[in-house]
Amino acid sequence: MKMEKSYLKPSLTTFFRILSLSLIILLSLKAITSIFYSPLFIEPKLLIFPSILVSIALTLYLRKSRLTIIELDDLHRIKSLLLEKLTKNGLKIKEEKENELTLELINRIGNFFNVWFGTETTTIKLVNNKIIVESNSRVVRNLVYELDNN
């Protein structure tokens, strides 16, 4: 069994959602501080720059990873092992197709991030005698560690 790990492209919609969320937080903090303290004059340009930096950093952090498992001995045994490891780590099956399986997190915080940013879903695909797992970096890193130890 041979494994290859790679990163997918960052999502532009994730960037804009994080940017809008960070601008809302910074503008509301500015409004709250101007109510309770003397009015602070902060130009909107000064609020946009940190929001853009935070959005770029979080978008790069939240991008998905791809784990490709090739040179398999028993395809369905490895798939069931992956499913066992993922369900043990707090994922549940969301959708099951013939050659594709989609899992999602059980906890509410993970579901919030999944709805907003689409980063907390895990997809297992069977393609040409290969298994492709696409998920966030944390899940892929745990899978690589657990599969190396087996």
Domains of the chain, start order: 2-8+65-149 (3.30.310), 12-60 (no CATH)
- What is the model's pLDDT at position 129? 84
- Sign of the torsion angle spanned by Cα atoms 56, 62, 64, 65: positive
Least confidently predicted of 28-37, 51-60, 139-148: 28-37
Angle between helices 108-117 and 12-36 (to 10 degrees): 110
The H or E element containing residue 137 is helix 137-149
What is the overall mean pLDDT for the chain? 84
Overall pTM surpassing 0.85 (yes/no): no
Mean pLDDT of all residues in 55-82:
86
Helix 137-149 crosses helix 75-88 at what angle (to 10 degrees)? 120
- Give the number of other CB atoms < 10 A from CB of residue 89: 16
